[in-house]
Amino acid sequence: MPHYFFNTSNGSPHVDDAGMDLPDLDAARREAVRYGGSLLSDDPGMVMQDHGFRIDVVDEAGGHCFAVRVVIED
Amino acid sequence: MPSDVTPLSRWMDQHRARMELGPLSILIRKLLSHSLLSTADQEAIAALPHKIKTLPQGGSILREGDQAEICPILLSGFAYRQKVASDGGRQIVALKLPGDALDLQSLYLQKADHDVRMLTPAELALVPLAAIEQLTIARPGVARAILIDILIESSISREWLLNIGRRNALARLAHLLCELHDRVSDIASETSDHFEIPLTQEQLADLLGLTPVHINRMVRQLEKMGAIGRPSRSLTILNFAELAKISSFSSAYLHRSNASRV
């Protein structure tokens, strides 16, 4: 099973050093959204930065897979 | 009894002198942590018929739907109660420590409503439920101690509902660790400031209702603060006071001084 790392930046920078085994990229997308939802539910202020909240998901080789962004548009 | 000696410590000291009571001594110690038991009550518990069984990590001792005939008493190791949703999502709903009786509810309820599994390799004493029921009929002190044990478990469940429903992730994890610190202290034969908690991050996720990646992040944060260490796949509590501050921990719901009130 591929291994993915979920790094957050902007409102809440954190490099994920453990990561998680997931069946495929689609499962990684769901996990990223769930993780982001859980972080934002604790601290909605994470979105209130200039560039909003961002999770970058990378694979074991360090390749960038996708990003999840949450921004507020006025 | 002089007023400067709490009944609890006095009874516990009496018990320590009586550790020759055999494998069920640890259950007696657990019950004495919240209830008074006469010497005769303690001897009657120690004399309960039982078989010793060992289980590996992950081993199951009770499944949802079972009609149990024995109550397992955890002699060593950790166990947990779990419930599983129809989509396979698992929630760990209770953690059990050495000395805990794992299925008192089957004394009075016909079918198990959850699974009980071992968190670590464990040793159990299997006591026939009928023998426990007879003992509760013959000895009101034992019946009272068992009732109090069940009441305290439900108090812990209420605190876990609050923890999962209303505390943020960091406080949620810190609160659980504080609770385990206090519960282990109650049964440990020697006191220590450092406790090893045999929970993996996946298990913590299933217990606290967070994703494993979120748990890892909170573990890292507590580690940076010096509150916990990670010697291997488990966690070690290094600074209880810091964890208690983060989670506004109060041990009132554990009713640890209950026996001294009587």
Return the residue of B nearest to A33 by Cα.
B211
Give B202 to chain A, closest Cα distance, Å. 10
3-state secondary structure of A47: helix
Q: Which residues of A touch B (CB under 8 A)?
A: 6, 14, 16-20, 31, 34-35, 38-39, 42-43
Question: Edge to edge, what strands does the sheet with B79-84 contain?
Answer: B60-62, B115-118, B79-84, B90-96
**Average pLDDT over chain B, rounded to an integer:** 89
∠B33-B139-B4 over CA atoms, to 5°? 35
pLDDT of residue B187: 78
Structure-model confidence comparison of residues A46 and B13, the more confident one: A46
Convert the pLDDT of each residue in B70-129 to its tens digit.
Answer: 999 999 999 999 999 999 999 999 999 999 999 999 999 999 999 999 999 999 999 999
Q: Which residues of B are less than 8 Å from A30 in CB distance?
A: none
DSSP code per residue over B152-217: HHHHHHHHHHHHHHHS-HHHHHHHHHHHHHHHHHHH-SS--S-EEE---HHHHHHHHT--HHHHHH
Mark yes or no for CB contact B211/A43 under 8 Å: no
Backbone angles phi, psi at B184, to 5 degrees: -65, -40
Distance CA B209, CA B217 (A): 14
The pTM of the full predicted model, rounded to 2 decimals, is 0.88
Convert the pLDDT of each residue in B217-232 to its tens digit.
Answer: 999 999 999 999 887 6
Q: Which residues of B are less than 8 Å from A31 in CB distance?
A: 211, 213
pLDDT of residue B7: 38
Residue whose token pair is 């109060």: B250
Tell which residue, B173, B141, B132, B159, has the closest CA to residue B48: B132
DSSP code per residue over B63-113: -TT---SEEEEEEES-EEEEEE-TTS-EEEEEEE-TT-BS-GGGGT-SS--
Q: Tell me, what DSSP letter sits at residue A14?
A: B
Return the residue of B nearest to A34 by Cα.
B211
Give A12 to chain B, closest Cα distance, Å. 11
pLDDT of residue A74: 84
Chain centre distance of CA A62: 15
pLDDT of residue B2: 36
Percent of chain A with pLDDT over 70: 97
Give B10 to chain A, closest Cα distance, Å. 45
Q: Which two tokens stand for residue B109?
A: 């309820």
Most B CBs within 10 Å: which of A1, A3, A20, A53, as the mutation test of the B interface?
A: A20
pLDDT of residue B261: 53
DSSP code per residue over B29-68: HHHHTTS---HHHHHHHHTS--EEEEE-TT-EEE-TT---
pLDDT of residue B143: 97
Give A42 to chain B, closest Cα distance, Å. 5
Mark yes or no for CB contact A14/B217 under 8 Å: yes
pLDDT of residue B262: 47
Q: Which residues of B are less than 8 Å from A20 in CB distance?
A: 212-213
Interface of B with A in 159-178 (CB under 8 A): 168-170
Mark yes or no for CB contact B210/A39 under 8 Å: no
pLDDT of residue B3: 36
**pLDDT (average), residues A45-50:** 84
From residue B181, how far is each of A9, B75, B108, B175, B188 by CA, in Å?
A: 34, 18, 31, 10, 10
pLDDT of residue A21: 94
Distance CA B116, CA B153 (A): 15
Mark yes or no for CB contact B213/A6 under 8 Å: yes
Nearest to B214 among A17, A19, A39 (CB): A39
Over the Cα atoms of chain B, what is R_g? Answer: 19
Low-confidence ranges of chain B (pLDDT < 70): 1-19, 189-193, 232-233, 261-262
Question: Edge to edge, what strands does the sheet with A53-59 contain?
Answer: A20-21, A3-10, A53-59, A64-70
Give A18 to chain B, closest Cα distance, Å. 7
Q: Is the dihedral of CA B255, B137, B42, B1 positive or negative?
A: positive
Mark yes or no for CB contact A18/B216 under 8 Å: yes
pLDDT of residue B1: 34
